[in-house]
Amino acid sequence: MRRVLVATALVAAGLFARTDTRAADDAARRAQVVVHVGPTRAITVGELEDRIAAMPPFQRATFGDTPDIVRRRFLMEVLLPETLFSLGGEGEKLDQKLPTSYAVERALSEATIRAIRDRVGPESAIPMADVQKYYDDNRARYDTPERYQLWRILCKTRDEAAEVIAEARKEPTPKEFGELARDHSIDKATDLRAGNLGFVTADGTSNEPGLRVDPSVVRAAQGVRDGDIVPTPVPEGDAFAVVWRRGTIAATKRSVDDAAAQIRDTLWKERVKSETDKLIASLRAAKVRDVNESLLDSIEISSGDGGVAVRAPAPSSSSAR
């Protein structure tokens, strides 16, 4: 038994050794220089391979119908001219002049964002356990009850509410209902917005922040169709409500499987943003210094239409202090 184990270990060691040797040989092959360009530039086998591999097949086919032709033409028609133009630009210091310097910075910035996205990985790699947790924590987004858009005028007495109902039903328009709300509603939180209570669930929960609706108002609205005014005053505390059911949003119920793609997209974007924010914070702490915001007042801003540039007045010596 011991001999078997020893033999197995030797075989495994040999396999690992051959793998390491092949990896080293491949690295040495990729580092070989195909052509030197100027005193500092070189195009390597690895660079040529990577650039060709990144092309889609249809584009690769435009360079020739055999691998040998593709390699040679891509080198001579694409990589070599690119390198020569780059050297020419460096000679003229274009990378230090506008707008090229901005383009270089933008390219580096976008490449950094792409690197962050690569580290985060694709959306499809987010495990289902994370999707399920997000779904459970945000169930209200995927499992919502029926909601009713209600407008309501709150009157002091039943008789006043009955009169308002009669007037509102003569001309059931937002303009007329809004005027009646301003003239009669004792609810000063909604009287200037036509009594709009927002979208309300059966238990009185409204999408309007901080607003709760008496469930009796909702029950009365459930007894009529969209666009109808409840024909009788609805008791609400010591007052009486005129209720207009403006519309309905049907209940929705999406399972975690139904929402999985959307949740993965949300989680992926959150993770990319988190990684981006962390990198910005660390770079800001390490790199940013001597911020002089007072100089912003002297920066010229063009009107954008060919007009005269706008310059904010320079701060006075007293304000500068």
pLDDT at position 207 is 86
Higher per-residue pLDDT: 305 or 194: 194
The answer to whether residue 300 sits within a structural domain is no
**Length of the chain, please?**
321
In this structure, the strands spanning 300-301 and 234-236 are unpaired
Q: Does the structure show a pLDDT above 80 at 146?
A: yes
Angle at alpha carbon of residue 214, lines to 212 and 215, rounded to 5°: 110
Predicted local distance difference test score (pLDDT) of residue 310? 52
Q: Which domain holds residue 13?
A: 1-27
* Cβ count near 49 (within 10 Å): 13
Report the pLDDT value the prediction gives residue 321, as an integer from 0 to 100: 37
pLDDT tier for residue 39 given thresholds of 50, 70 and 90: confident
Stretch 86-94: mean pLDDT: 83
Q: What is the pTM of this model?
A: 0.54
Nearest-angstrom CA–CA distance, 58 and 131: 37
How would residue 103 be classed by pLDDT, with cut points 50, 70 and 90? Answer: confident
- The pLDDT of residue 172: 92
Q: Is residue 15 predicted with pLDDT exceeding 60?
A: no
- DSSP-derived secondary structure letter, 76: I
pLDDT of residue 297: 84
* Confidence band of 286 (pLDDT split at 50, 70, 90): very high
Region 97-114: mean pLDDT is 87
More confident residue, 313 or 160: 160
> Does 50 have pLDDT greater than 70?
yes
Q: Is 306 exposed, middle or buried (0-12, 13-18, 19+ CB in 10 A)?
A: exposed
Q: How far apart are CA 62 and CA 74, in angstroms?
A: 10
Q: Give the start-end residues of each E strand in 201-257.
A: 234-236, 239-249, 252-253
CATH code at position 204 = 3.10.50.40
Calculate mean pLDDT across residues 190-194. 92
Per the prediction, the chain carries an average pLDDT of 86
Q: Cis peptide before 99, with omega less than 30 degrees from 0?
A: yes
Q: Are 117 and 269 in contact (CB under 8 A)?
A: no
Q: How far is CA 309 from the centre of its chain?
A: 34
- Which residues does 49 contact at the CB level (< 8 Å), separation at least 6? 30
CA distances to 7, 166, 175, 240, 243 from 161, rounded to whole Å, are 97, 9, 18, 6, 10
Task: Using CB atoms within 10 Å of the CB of residue 150, give its burial: 0 to 12 exposed, 13 to 18 middle, 19+ buried.
Answer: buried
**166, pLDDT greater than 80:** yes
Query: Residue 212 falls within a domain, yes or no?
Result: yes
Average pLDDT over residues 148-168: 96
Structure tokens at 138: 């945000």
Classified as helix, coil or strand, 80 is helix
Is the pLDDT assigned to residue 291 strictly greater than 70? Answer: yes
| 321 in any annotated domain | no
Sign of CA dihedral 108, 113, 114, 118: positive
> In this structure, is residue 120 part of a structural domain?
no
pLDDT at residue 320 is higher than 50: no
Contact yes or no for 297/312 (Cβ under 8 A): yes
Mean pLDDT of 12-41: 78
Q: How far apart are CA 75 and CA 69, in angstroms?
A: 10
Identify any residues that bridge with 301 across adjacent strands, giving them in sequence order. Answer: 310
The half-sphere exposure of 184 on its side-chain side, counting CA atoms within 13 A, is 28
Please give the residue that has the higher pLDDT: either 91 or 169. Answer: 169
Helix (H/G/I), strand (E/B), else coil: 226: coil
CA pair distance 298, 171, nearest whole angstrom: 59
Query: What's the CA gap between 272 and 34, in Å, rounded?
Result: 38
User: Which of 184, 217, 250 marks a domain boundary?
Assistant: 250
> Domain for residue 156, yes or no?
yes
**Would you say residue 157 lies in a domain?**
yes
pLDDT tier, 104 (very low <50, low <70, confident <90, very high otherwise): confident
Domain contains 181: yes
- For residue 93, the model assigns a pLDDT of 84
**pLDDT value at residue 319:** 43
- 43 and 37 Cβ atoms separated by less than 8 Å: yes
At 26 the pLDDT is 86
Does 222 map to a domain? yes
Q: Is the model's pLDDT at 311 over the cut of 80?
A: no
Number of domains in the chain: 2
Please determine, for residue 308, whether its predicted confidence score (pLDDT) is greater than 70.
Answer: no
Q: What is the mean pLDDT of residues 46-74?
A: 89
pLDDT tens digit string along 219-262? 999 999 999 999 999 999 999 999 999 999 999 889 999 999 99
Average pLDDT over residues 147-165: 96
**CB 219 within 8 Å of CB 232:** no
**Buried b vs exposed e over 167-196: b needs ≥16 C-beta within 10 Å?**
bbeeeeeeeebbebbeebbebeebbeebbb
